[in-house]
């Protein structure tokens, strides 16, 4: 039961394409860098973030980005998790094994931070990220330093890129955020009941397709409450065109959002519920 208390972390299932390439500028303290828990500027700062957001930018001839979610061409208006099976399969032992490969682009220190983020799921969920055997396993996460921080939504066929650019993305919160996308979870402020908890100020949002990552979608919220502390929640200045807030909590506009350093209790709880992690759910029920 004690472990169950530690594992009540909130992850939210938001299903719909939305991804964004991020170019981040700014420095981090030595303490933050050593801990690997720095929140990138686009999430952390309660002022206009220093970043460039490219919505609809081509990653390749086959893939575009909407928000920080990679979407194959032809599925821009579809929900990837309904267009195909998006969950990773569960093994007979009750665990969900997700193979991964880490690019040699990273330094040993960066690899250690990424592995720490991967291992964090095993502490409180039945998800186990394991090194891929590329000769035997066709579907795996291909973690590399590409153009910004982004991931596909849910399991894809074949090697599946999770981009953690060396400059700005190799932090615990960002790693967990993108891995949650890969497990099938969307952004908190896009969930179906978000209008009861936040107000989206479209007048302050970048024109055109930049509004797409902030749209509300039909979601399976897994019986969990809206969570301002979710690692999947954007900050209040996301996609701002004028330095004014784009996401305002209600009824209390002063609530902190988008500043999580790691998964919340609700994030973890949702992983356990989505993937039916029996042991964790049993501990939760026995509290």
Residues 114-128 have a mean pLDDT of 97
Residue 192 clears pLDDT 80, i.e. is over it: yes
pLDDT, tens only, 215-238: 888 888 999 999 999 999 999 999
> In degrees, to the nearest 5, what angle opens at C-alpha 268 toward C-alphas 258 and 53?
30
Confidence at 260, pLDDT banded by 50, 70, 90: very high
Is the distance from CB of 98 to CB of 182 less than 8 angstroms? yes
* pLDDT for 48: 28
Q: Are 264 and 10 in contact (CB under 8 A)?
A: yes
Q: For residue 210, what pLDDT is reported? A: 57
Extents of the domains making up the chain? 2-280
| Homologous superfamily assigned to 2-280 | Collagenase (Catalytic Domain) (3.40.390.10)
In sequence order, the β-bridge partners of residue 140 are 159
Tell me the mean pLDDT in the region 255-263: 95
The helix (run of H) or strand (run of E) holding residue 100 is: strand 96-102
Question: Is 181 labelled a binding residue?
Answer: yes
State how far the Cα of 109 lies from the Cα of 106, in Å rounded to an integer: 8
Residues known to be catalytic? 178
pLDDT in tens, 81-108: 644 478 999 999 999 999 999 999 999 9
Q: What is the mean pLDDT of residues 198-227?
A: 86
What is d(CA 202, CA 287) in angstroms, rounded to the nearest whole number?
43
Q: What is the pLDDT of residue 219?
A: 86
């Amino acid at each position: 039961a004690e472990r169950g208390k530690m594992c009540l972390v909130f992850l939210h299932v938001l299903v719909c394409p939305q991804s964004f390439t991020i170019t981040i500028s700014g420095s981090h303290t030595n303490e933050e860098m050593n801990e690997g828990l720095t929140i990138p500027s686009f999430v952390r700062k309660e002022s206009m973030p220093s970043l460039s957001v490219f919505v609809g930018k081509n990653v390749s001839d086959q893939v575009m980005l909407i928000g920080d979610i990679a979407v194959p061409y032809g599925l821009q208006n579809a929900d990837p998790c309904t267009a195909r099976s998006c969950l990773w399969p569960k093994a007979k032992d009750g665990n969900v094994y997700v193979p991964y490969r880490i690019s040699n682009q990273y330094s040993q220190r960066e690899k250690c931070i990424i592995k720490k983020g991967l291992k964090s799921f095993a502490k409180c969920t039945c998800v186990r990220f394991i090194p891929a055997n590329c000769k035997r396993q066709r579907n795996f996460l291909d973690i590399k330093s590409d153009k910004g921080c982004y991931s596909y939504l849910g399991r894809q066929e074949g090697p599946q890129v999770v981009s953690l650019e060396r400059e700005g993305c190799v932090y615990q919160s960002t790693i967990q955020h993108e891995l949650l996308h890969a497990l099938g979870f969307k952004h908190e402020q896009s969930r179906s009941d978000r209008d009861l908890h936040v107000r989206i100020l479209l007048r302050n949002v970048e024109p055109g397709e930049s509004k797409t990552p902030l749209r509300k979608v039909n979601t399976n919220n897994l019986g969990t409450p809206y969570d301002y502390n979710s690692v999947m929640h954007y900050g209040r200045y996301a996609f701002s065109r004028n330095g004014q807030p784009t996401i305002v909590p209600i009824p209390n506009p002063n609530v902190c959002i988008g500043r999580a350093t790691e998964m919340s209790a609700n994030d973890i709880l949702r992983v356990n519920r989505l993937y039916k992690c029996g042991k964790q759910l049993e501990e939760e029920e026995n509290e």
